[in-house]
Structure 1
């Protein structure tokens, strides 16, 4: 792979960075004020920023080139540095219509949805008119093994009837979240555990869908997106709402999570880079024991170690993206697992050092470090815990080299 970005990518990266610096970062305080006033509404300032980003052509950058008319034509490798830029801000990914869970849901609909499903749900998602959520995780089973999912999807005539209990369903608290992709079992007795599951489209206003509370993440409610607890009480939807067909849910989940994992890692690298820059600014302006912090040996070590770790993770992410482009997501699964293990832990280390160097200010609301830390810690669980990725990666490597 080429380590130097193309002229096209450099131009886009510069455009994205300037947009974030000039439009997004100055708006974060107003965004927080508007969220506090109406937690589950999309803040008006976000709608304004999204309109500006769309007008500037900085829209849906995440969709790879093989999605035809839905795609801006970027490869995963081309998108990676752009996603890293969005990670420098808590809200930038949404500004460019490139935030989870919508990105993964749009990829599902683009790859697996039929023409009617794309028309009804994908097009308004691509336009940024509605939001969505992906309902897989359940409180009563270890959802890191998706074959454990207990939500039932049974067919009755021309309808599916859904019964189950989900939680930490990101995005479902938003008032403009109009569609859920729900994973459950249509064939729980199938001897092939990977063919028991299906995924079905459920509008949030369907009778029987009960969104009961927002789950917190390390004390944050993450409004306006939120992470909802959701009950499905004999929810009925047309059979046409099934995605790809019965028994294909596990396959769809695997196809959805691969790109989503690497997108998170790209943004985490951006968050770590921002924390690193704040750290360097702090040590050059803060005086302790009669001299700038930058003259302290332990501080210099933290800076050097952080820079090395960020660059290592960045290069591994680019390698994974390149493999996805050249050989497909399945062929890149080991690299995707590697970066999913490496990036959150790297970000936690770097952000923790930045917090330490900032002292009490690093824990507060005037800097993004605390929320960056919560996001990085979440990513050690979301889209598969570290242990699952290491178990599967270790298994495959042992077999190959043994």
Structure 2
């Protein structure tokens, strides 16, 4: 995979696609699952080892530590998403992929060596501790409501608070914890497990692709060395913004791959299944659904490419990633829903991944910001720009 440019990206993507289709897909019926139906750690470790042997572990980060561009990453991560297990096998799954991106961008050499390297090598998992219990008044889609507090005590920081929907906290070896000091938001790197972080509850959720589920937990006098703060006190939201847009986009990349595969399965079914004297594909109602899937999949791909190009210019791309998250999650929901409908009874069974993809995409419309929050944020931007334009037209 020497060289650079489109040829290099195409070679990486081809190897990833072959691995996911030929190796990973066979594990989709593997019974090694926890009681929430999430992949067991043993299964994840086995898949990562196979990816390591195939040379496709963490394929978006090159051997010299450099990161593919966002446009290149989009091509590769879509291929890992062709199976719900693909991102786990290839080490491109959330929240690890977003955490790797953040630490690679802003981590000190010491932090990159201690916390980033094990993630890139697939030797451990991570969790991102930001969201808090909504009914307790904590931060969710509005991070300014953060209640988890921290204060300095000598050469340590002490953190107390509650967190909710922390993906993969159970079983993770590294945590990125957000808390609020007198200066504002802060971000810390911590080793897990830690007795000061107590998992209270892991709710059953509609999705089941992420090991460890989405934990609700209590942080009780967690002591973190001062040199494990990312940046300085009060800079936490600044670093969260660095992670935010690429993480939203990579979700879109992975689930685009999943819906491409679901559509392949539904298309195959429609071309084989006979009803009322002809194959399903020849019934206009079914054929039109599959045609609409192609349209939505292409539009999702184009939105992802557009947003990736914006991020590759160095822009934070906050508005662009919001638009892409809304457009892609809603389009893929339509695709997944049609795939279920085309397959009828088969579509709601676990005999194919179509049923799981439908569930996962429904959850995707909520995490990393619900559709409505992104629309609200965009509406505020529209208002700000309108007011600025009006002020510019006023005569002195």
- Is the contact between residue 349 and residue 355 of structure 2 (CA under 8 Å) also seen in structure 1? yes
2:359 to 333, 351, 374: 374
- Is the contact between residue 216 and residue 222 of structure 1 (CA under 8 Å) also seen in structure 2? no
Match of 2:268 in 1: 281
Distance 2:250 2:79 in 1: 12
SS in 2 for 1:321: helix
**Change in 2 beyond 3 A, CA 1:227/1:26:** same
Structure 1 portions without partners, runs of 5+ = 191-195
Distance 2:103 2:40 in 1: 23
Q: Number of residue pairs matched?
A: 380
Using structure 2 for the length normalisation, give the TM-score: 0.89
**Change in 2 beyond 3 A, CA 1:36/1:233:** closer
2:314 to 328, 336, 341: 328
Instruction: Say whether 1:242 aligns with 2:238.
Output: no
Instruction: State the Cα distance separating 1:56 from its structure 2 match.
Output: 3.3
Match of 2:204 in 1: 216
2:173 to 149, 167, 178: 178
Deviations 1:31-88 (A, max 9, x none): xx1224997885444333322322333232334x8xx9422x5211112121111111
Distance 2:70 2:177 in 1: 27
1:47-62 equivalences under 5 Å are 47-62=45-60
**Change in 2 beyond 3 A, CA 1:274/1:132:** same
Runs ≥4 in structure 1, deviation > 3 angstroms?
Answer: 36-46, 220-223, 397-402
Match of 2:373 in 1: 388
Structure 2 portions without partners, runs of 5+ = 390-396
- Is the contact between residue 352 and residue 373 of structure 1 (CA under 8 Å) also seen in structure 2? yes
- Is the contact between residue 186 and residue 246 of structure 1 (CA under 8 Å) also seen in structure 2? yes
Distance 1:81 1:393 in 2: 27
Match of 1:76 in 2: 70
SS in 2 for 1:70: coil
Using structure 1 for the length normalisation, give the TM-score: 0.88
Instruction: State the Cα distance separating 1:142 from its structure 2 match.
Output: 4.6
Match of 1:228 in 2: 215
Instruction: Say whether 1:115 aligns with 2:109.
Output: yes
Match of 2:282 in 1: 295
1:1-400 equivalences under 5 Å are 6-30=6-30, 33-36=31-34, 42-63=40-61, 69-71=64-66, 73-139=67-133, 140=136, 141-174=138-171, 177-187=172-182, 196-218=184-206, 220=207, 222=209, 224-325=211-312, 327-330=313-316, 332-400=317-385
- Is the contact between residue 181 and residue 202 of structure 1 (CA under 8 Å) also seen in structure 2? yes
- Is the contact between residue 214 and residue 221 of structure 1 (CA under 8 Å) also seen in structure 2? no
Instruction: State the Cα distance separating 1:221 from its structure 2 match.
Output: 5.3
Aligned residues: CA RMSD: 2.2
Instruction: State the Cα distance separating 1:215 from its structure 2 match.
Output: 2.1
**Change in 2 beyond 3 A, CA 1:258/1:212:** same
SS in 2 for 1:133: strand
SS in 1 for 2:173: strand
SS in 1 for 2:60: coil
**Change in 2 beyond 3 A, CA 1:37/1:214:** closer
**Change in 2 beyond 3 A, CA 1:288/1:40:** closer
Match of 1:193 in 2: none
Distance 2:258 2:28 in 1: 15
SS in 2 for 1:29: coil
- Is the contact between residue 17 and residue 82 of structure 2 (CA under 8 Å) also seen in structure 1? no
Match of 2:393 in 1: none
- Is the contact between residue 102 and residue 133 of structure 1 (CA under 8 Å) also seen in structure 2? yes
Distance 1:133 1:45 in 2: 19
Instruction: State the Cα distance separating 1:109 from its structure 2 match.
Output: 1.8
Distance 2:300 2:127 in 1: 28
Distance 1:105 1:168 in 2: 16
Bigger drift between 382-391 and 250-259 goes to 382-391
**Change in 2 beyond 3 A, CA 1:309/1:185:** same
